[in-house]
Amino acid sequence: MVINFFHHFWPSLVRHDGFLKEFITPIIKVFRKSAGATSEALQTFFTLPEYEAWSRTQNNMGIYRVKYYKGLGTSTSKEAKEYFSSIGQHKIEFDYIDHNDDEAIDMAFNKKKAD
């Protein structure tokens, strides 16, 4: 929504390479079931396709505990501190290329184009 706000009121800022940034957090973490509840994640995934590809390579998914995340609100304070301490791994910078980017932003946020 912040992207749409800037795109609507200050489109020249959106067109400035690197102005828009996204802070990404894991969507799925996989832990070994035998390890304690506070164990470190065995695998961390930022997209569902990435997790699905990995899970297809596993012979016994029963040995894993899978935790789904909905953003920072689902993360523990310890996990949030880890994310911010390695912010370079969790930051995506957007670069404006051409008018197609304007159309993509409009399509993503325009209620009239929800279909």
Domains: count for the chain: 2
46 shares a domain with 73: yes
70-105 confidence digits (pLDDT tens): 877 888 888 888 888 888 888 888 888 999 998 988
Are residue 75 and residue 108 in the same domain, yes or no?
A: no
Considering the domain architecture, whether residues 40 and 84 belong to the same structural domain is answered as yes
The domain in which residue 27 lies consists of 22-92
Q: Is 18 helix (H, G, I), strand (E, B) or coil?
A: coil
Q: Assess whether 82 and 111 both reside in one domain.
A: no
- Is the pTM higher than 0.85? The answer reads no
Residue length of the chain: 115
Pair 47, 70 in one domain: yes
DSSP string, 49-94: HHHHHHHHT-S-GGGEEEEE--SGGGS-HHHHHHHHHTGGGSEEE-
Instruction: Report the pLDDT value the prediction gives residue 33, as an integer from 0 to 100.
Output: 84
Do 76 and 27 fall within a single domain?
yes
